[in-house]
Structure 1
Amino acid sequence: MPDSLLWCREEVFDIAKFPLPHNTFTINALPHLARLFASADSSRKYTVSFTTWAKIATQLLHFSNELAQLVFTTFTALKHGQGSQTIPASVDGPEFLAFLFTTLFHTSSFRTRRNTRFPTETSPTAPFPSPHSPASPGSPAYNVSSGPGQAEYQAFVSAHLVTLLSSLSLAVSGTPAVGTVLTVSPRHINALGIFLSGGDGNFQVSALSQLVPELLDASDMIPVPTVVAALNGMFRPDIDDITPDPVAEQPPGMIPREIPTVISGQLKSTVVQSAEGDLVITDCTKSTIYILSPVRTARISGCSECTIVIGAVSGVAIVQECTRMTIIAATTAIHLLASTDSTAHLICKTRPAVLQGCRNVVFGPYNTVFDSLDADLTAAGLSACVNQWDRPVVIGADAWSLQDPGDFYPFVVPFNNDRGMINPASLPEPYASALRQRIEAVSTIHRMVRSDELSRDARAELNAAIQRLFKMWLGATGNARQVTELMTLETR
Structure 2
Amino acid sequence: MAETDETPSPATTPSPSPAYIHPRREPFEHGLLPIPKLIFTDGTQTLGPIKDKLLSLSSESTYRVNPESIAESLQISPDQAQLLLETIACVLHSVSDPLVTAKPSEIGSVGVNVFDLVVFLYIQSYKRLLPKGHKDSAAVADVWPSTSAFDGFLSALSPLQLARSNSRRNMPSQSDEEAHQLSYLQKHLGNILSLLLESVEGDGEESLVLSAEKFEHLDFIFYFGEKGSEKIPLSQNAPFFANSDPNMPAVPVPAAQLHDWLLQNIASTLEHITERASAKENGPMSAPDQDVPMADISASTVKNSSSPRGPNFIEGISKTSYVRKPNDLKGSSVKVVNCHESVLYILAPLTYATVYGCSDATIVLGAVGKAVRVEHCERVHVIAAAKRICIANCRECVFFLGVNQAPLLVGDNHKLQILECPTCLMVFIRLLHTILFILNWRST
- TM > 0.5: yes
Q: CA deviation at 1:2?
A: 8.7
1:145 aligns with 2:200: no
What residue is the counterpart of 2:316 in the other structure?
265
* Structure 1 residues 196 and 114: CA distance shift in structure 2, 3 A: farther
Give 1:77's match in structure 2, choosing from 90, 103, 126.
90
Encode CA deviations 1:5-33: one digit per residue, 9 max, x unaligned: 11112232011232232796233333223
Encode CA deviations 1:20-49: one digit per residue, 9 max, x unaligned: 327962333332232222222242312222
* Structure 1 residues 177 and 131: CA distance shift in structure 2, 3 A: farther
Give 1:99's match in structure 2, choosing from 96, 120, 129.
120
* CA distance in 1 between partners of 2:382 and 2:130 (Å): 31
What residue is the counterpart of 2:258 in the other structure?
227
1:342 aligns with 2:397: yes
1:130 aligns with 2:142: yes
* CA distance in 2 between partners of 1:264 and 1:226 (Å): 43
* CA distance in 2 between partners of 1:116 and 1:30 (Å): 33
Q: Which amino acid is the alignment partner of residue 141 of structure 2?
A: P
Q: Is the CA contact (8 Å cut-off) linking 1:298 and 1:317 kept in structure 2?
A: yes
TM-score by length of 2: 0.70
TM-score by length of 1: 0.64
Q: Which residues in structure 2 correspond to 1:209-358 (within 5 Å)?
A: 209-216=235-242, 217=244, 218-235=249-266, 236-237=269-270, 257-274=308-325, 275=329, 276-358=331-413
* Structure 1 residues 156 and 191: CA distance shift in structure 2, 3 A: same
Tell me, what secondary structure is at the counterpart of 2:73? Answer: helix
Tell me, what secondary structure is at the counterpart of 2:406? Answer: coil
* CA distance in 2 between partners of 1:201 and 1:146 (Å): 20
What residue is the counterpart of 1:469 in the other structure?
none
* Structure 1 residues 52 and 203: CA distance shift in structure 2, 3 A: same
Q: Which amino acid is the alignment partner of residue 37 of structure 1?
A: L
Where does structure 2 lack aligned partners over 5 or more consecutive residues?
Answer: 1-15, 147-154, 278-306
Quote the sequence identity (%): 22
Q: Which amino acid is the alignment partner of residue 412 of structure 1?
A: L
Q: Is the CA contact (8 Å cut-off) linking 1:37 and 1:93 kept in structure 2?
A: yes
* CA distance in 2 between partners of 1:102 and 1:303 (Å): 28
What residue is the counterpart of 2:62 in the other structure?
45
* CA distance in 2 between partners of 1:355 and 1:488 (Å): 40
Q: Which moved more, 1:183-192 or 1:16-25?
A: 16-25
Q: Which amino acid is the alignment partner of residue 264 of structure 2?
A: G
* Structure 1 residues 350 and 259: CA distance shift in structure 2, 3 A: same
1:88 aligns with 2:108: yes
Encode CA deviations 1:422-456: one digit per residue, 9 max, x unaligned: xxxxxxxxxxxxxxxxxxxxxxxxxxxxxxxxxxx
Q: CA deviation at 1:415?
A: 5.1
Encode CA deviations 1:58-86: one digit per residue, 9 max, x unaligned: x2xxx454433322211112225667432
What residue is the counterpart of 1:249 in the other structure?
none
Q: Is the CA contact (8 Å cut-off) linking 1:16 and 1:102 kept in structure 2?
A: no
Where does structure 1 lack aligned partners over 5 or more consecutive residues?
Answer: 118-126, 243-255, 371-407, 419-482
What residue is the counterpart of 1:412 in the other structure?
431
What residue is the counterpart of 2:28 in the other structure?
13
Q: CA RMSD in A?
A: 3.6
Tell me, what secondary structure is at the counterpart of 1:413? Answer: helix
What residue is the counterpart of 1:377 in the other structure?
none
* CA distance in 1 between partners of 2:34 and 2:201 (Å): 33
Q: Is the CA contact (8 Å cut-off) linking 2:159 and 2:338 kept in structure 1?
A: no
What residue is the counterpart of 1:163 in the other structure?
191
* CA distance in 2 between partners of 1:115 and 1:96 (Å): 33
Q: Which amino acid is the alignment partner of residue 131 of structure 1?
A: V
* Structure 1 residues 92 and 329: CA distance shift in structure 2, 3 A: same
Q: CA deviation at 1:414?
A: 4.4
1:187 aligns with 2:205: no
Q: Is the CA contact (8 Å cut-off) linking 1:77 and 1:83 kept in structure 2?
A: no
* CA distance in 2 between partners of 1:188 and 1:201 (Å): 28
Q: Is the CA contact (8 Å cut-off) linking 1:83 and 1:350 kept in structure 2?
A: no
Q: Is the CA contact (8 Å cut-off) linking 1:338 and 1:357 kept in structure 2?
A: yes
Give 2:52's match in structure 1, choosing from 32, 35, 43.
35
Q: Is the CA contact (8 Å cut-off) linking 1:83 and 1:332 kept in structure 2?
A: no
* CA distance in 2 between partners of 1:342 and 1:213 (Å): 50
Q: Which residues in structure 2 correspond to 1:51-66 (within 5 Å)?
A: 51-57=68-74, 59=75, 63-66=76-79
Q: Is the CA contact (8 Å cut-off) linking 1:84 and 1:349 kept in structure 2?
A: no
Q: Is the CA contact (8 Å cut-off) linking 1:266 and 1:283 kept in structure 2?
A: yes
What residue is the counterpart of 1:365 in the other structure?
420
Q: Which moved more, 1:232-241 or 1:316-325?
A: 232-241
* CA distance in 2 between partners of 1:334 and 1:83 (Å): 18
Q: CA deviation at 1:169?
A: 2.6
